[in-house]
Every structure is written in C-alpha cells, then in structure tokens.
Structure 1
Amino acid sequence: MSAVCVYCASGPVDQPYLDLAAEVGRTLAEQGHVVVSGGGNISMMGALVNAAREAGGHTVGIIPRALMKHEVADLGSGELVVTETMRERKRLMDERADGFITLPGGIGTLEELFETWTGGYLGMHDKPVVLLDPVDFYAPLLDWLRELSTTGFVARRSLDRLLITRSVSDAVELATAR
C-alpha cells in the first residue's frame, strides 16, 4: 500500500471539479492507497477525502492550526495532524507521500506542485509527480513552460519529470508506480 498526496482547491469551484476530486479519492481508496491531503474538508479537498473514506480508504490530513476554521478541518480523517506552520505542513505531506497528484487549484495548489516538482528535478526525492488535467485547466501554464524551455529558462529534463495525464486511472497508476 502506498500513500499519495493530492493537491487541489480548497475554495469554491464548479461541480465537475468536485466530481474529479471525488473520483480520484475513490479510485485511490479502491486500490488500497492512503490519501494524504491538506487536512481540509471543503471544496475539492473535502470531495477527495470524503469519497476516499466512503470507498473504505484511509485518509491522512495535515493542516496548520491557523487554517483549521478557514479550510474546515477534516475531523473525520483517519489521522489529522495539526502543524504550527505551512512549511511544516508541506514537509509532513512530502514525507508521508510516496507519490503526488495535482488537480486543478489556485495559487496554493500551484505552489505545492512547483515545490514538489522542483524537489524531484533537483534530486531531493525520486517520487512521481503527476499533473491530472482532464479538461486542459493547466494548458496555458504548460504552453508557457514549454516556451520557457526554448529560451533556456526551464530545462527540457525538468519538463520531462512532470507526468501529465488526462485520466484518473493513469494518474493513480503513475503516482503509485515504484
């Protein structure tokens, strides 16, 4: 059994994004994987963990004390870890995960993706970093990054390190491949 950290939105989003998060949580749980999240129980984060638990899965939420009310802490989590800082939260999420899946999200999600992706590129970990993008949410960002690779600002090797898929089943397979 492996643990997969899923980065996603914790703010208001449309139903298709909630459905995507729920499908990821359910698929991970059905395959026996632990779901590691940011410890919130609203929006996509809530859909993810609630679907995982409904499918019999184990969830680990890691949340800073300051966000417990803002993100509505996932008190139903199999394990809820409360940290003092965001840096501690991210460190624990990284340590607890064997792989990462990023879903659509805002600046917090992007920051988590870039930090994890950069860490892998720099050799700080060898865990798979997967970008699940079934609706081309990240297409403009990926186009820009590919353009930056033509100017030398982004190494082609770093782009190759990011595993991009449109399929939930492929994302889970990639994130859990070791």
Structure 2
Amino acid sequence: MRVSVVGGGAVDESEYEQAREVGRVLAERGHTVVCGGRTGVMEAACRGARDVGGETIGILPGEDRRVANEYVTTPIATGLGNARNVLVVLNGDAAIAIDGSTGTLSEIAHALDTGRPVAGLGTHDVPGVEAVETPERAVEYVESSV
C-alpha cells in the first residue's frame, strides 16, 4: 500500500522523530511513503523509510527533481506549487498527518474528500481525522481502514 505522509516543512526535533518513526514502521510493513518531497515531516518520513530499505515518492511543487530531499527514491516534479497537494494524497491509499499548517490542512481535506482514511499525530482537529498518540497506532489505523 502507498501511504501519504503529510505535515509541516519546519518541525521541532520531537515531530521530526515521530515522522521518522512513521516512515520506518510503514517501510518495515512493506508500504511506500508518498510525500511532498521536501523538508520537515516529509524528509523525516522518507529518512525513516530509507533507514530500513523502504521506497519513497516525493511529489514536488517545482520543476526540478533535484531539489527533493536526499531520502526520496522517486522524485516527481510537477511545477504546480501548492496545487501539488492534491497529487500527494491522490497517490496514497491513506494519509498520516503530523503537525502542519495550512498546507497540511489542505492535504487532509483532499484526503477526506476523496474517501481516504486519515490518522493524525498532533495535527489539525478535523472531523474524519482519527487522532492517534503514536506512530505505530497511526500505521495500524490506516492499515485497518483501507
């Protein structure tokens, strides 16, 4: 399964480690991480997945694939700016949201609008988002909901 991991581009150490753990658990269970391909939560989730040999897809806002974080195995340039947020969630079967601001909120909304389950770790309190306390529980929720 592909799981979109969405969240803030600038995060503190605790949020970074949560996202890294989400990526690791997803990859250990055979899932591919889909994200926006840049910094913060996106980098951390990709790093966690790559730490255990997992695959990662980064759907980038710009036209240059080379700006993806170093842990993205498949960078996809879109040239769409933040409009690429919808592509991030459309290319996952479920989503895990960690922290984040308005960009993350838009990704959550797109995921919910398209019927994808969303687990939330310290993110927006939105109807339809399953608030969870740990990275493991986030992965368990999306696995059981697809």
TM over 0.5: yes
Q: Is the 8 A contact 1:37 1:60 kept in 2?
A: yes
Pairing partner for 1:106 from 82, 101, 121: 101
For 1:133-171, what per-residue CA distance to the aligned partner results, in whole angstroms no more than 9, with x for missing partners?
A: 3xxxx4xx63xx6xxxxxxxxxxxxx2x32221121111
Structure 2's unaligned 5+ residue stretches are none
Pairing partner for 2:134 from 167, 170, 177: 167
TM-score, normalised via structure 1 length:
0.72
| Secondary structure at 1:20 match in 2 | helix
1:34 is the counterpart of 2:32: yes
Which letter maps to 2:140?
Answer: E
1:9 is the counterpart of 2:8: yes
Pairwise mapping of residues 114-129 of structure 1 onto structure 2 (< 5 A)?
114-117=109-112, 119=113, 125-129=114-118
Find the counterpart in structure 2 of residue 91 from structure 1. Answer: 86
For 1:74-127, what per-residue CA distance to the aligned partner results, in whole angstroms no more than 9, with x for missing partners?
A: 25422110002136522322321000010011221122223322x0xxxxx332
Pairing partner for 1:25 from 19, 23, 26: 23
Q: Is the 8 A contact 2:6 2:41 kept in 1?
A: no
Please tell me the root mean square deviation across aligned C-alpha atoms, in Å. 2.2
1:51 is the counterpart of 2:48: yes
Identical residues among aligned pairs (%) = 32
Q: 1:22 Cα deviation (Å)?
A: 0.7
Which of structures 1 and 2 has the bigger CA Rg? 1
Q: Aligned pairs, how many?
A: 145
| Secondary structure at 1:100 match in 2 | strand
TM-score, normalised via structure 2 length:
0.86
